[in-house]
Amino acid sequence: MKDEQKTKSQLINELNEIRQRVSDLEQGESNLSKSETRYRQIFETNLAIKLIIDPSNGKIVEANQSACEFYGYPLETLTSMRITDINMLSDEEVQKEMEKAKKEERLFFNFKHQIASEEIRAVEVYSGPVSVADSTLLYSIVQDVTKRNEAEQELHKHRHHLEELVKERTTELKNKMGEQQTTFDLMIGREVRMAELKKVIKKLRAQLERAGITPEANDPLLGE
C-alpha cells in the first residue's frame, strides 16, 4: 500500500511504532550507558588491584588505579605491557596458566610479580573469563600477600627454632637422668656390697670367737 493510500489511523499507528522503537533504543542505550558507568565505577574506585588481560597474547587491556599504584606504572605504560612482562614465570608457563583460567579449569593462582622498582612481590590472583564483544578476556583480581608470606615464614622459623630448643633440652634432661640413674645404681650397689661384707665380717668374728681368738684393737673385724 502506498503512503498516500494509507489512512490517517494507519499512519498514526506506524508513527507510534517508530516512536516506541526509538524509545526502546534510547532506553537500551541509556541502560547500557548506566551499566558501563556502574562497571567503570566498580572497576576504578574499588581498592582491589584489577587487570583485564587478553589470554590470546597476554596483553593487559585494562588496569585500574590500584593496579597502577601497586605496579608503579602509569596507565598508558601498564596497558602497553603484557602480563609476561610482570609475571616471573616463563612465557610458556604463563600461557598455560591463562588457558586454565580461560577454560575455568583453575581460578586461583599464586605468582611472583615484578613491579616497576624491580622488587619481586608475592601475589594471589583470582582470574576468570569474561565475554567482551566476540572475544574472551580474563578479569583478574590481584592481592599482594608479600608481608603475609614473610610473617608466615618468620613464624615457621621461630617454630622450628623452638622445636630445636625443645629437642636439645629433652636430650639434656635424658642425659642427666641417665647420669643420675647411674649414680643411683652405683650407690645401691655399694650399699648392697657393704651389707654383704658386714655379714661376712660378722660370720668371721663368730668363727674367731668360737676358736678362742681375740682380734686386735684396730682389727676391722671388731667393727659393725
DSSP string, 33-102: HHHHHHHHHHHHHSSSEEEEE-TTT-BEEEE-HHHHHHHT--HHHHTTSBGGGTBSS-HHHHHHHHHHHH
| Res. 2 pLDDT band, cuts 50 70 90 | very low
**Lowest pLDDT segment from 62-66, 175-179, 216-220:** 216-220
For the chain, give the percent of residues with pLDDT over 70. 65
Q: pTM of this prediction? A: 0.56
Residue range 87-94: mean pLDDT, rounded: 95
**Lowest pLDDT segment from 49-53, 57-61, 207-211:** 207-211
Q: Among the CATH numbers 3.40.640.10, 3.30.450.20, 3.30.450.40, 3.40.50.720, which is that of 47-144?
A: 3.30.450.20
Instruction: Please tell me whether residue 107 adopts helix, strand or coil conformation.
Output: coil
**Which position has the higher pLDDT, 82 or 130?**
82
Q: Answer yes or no: is pLDDT of 107 > 70.
A: yes
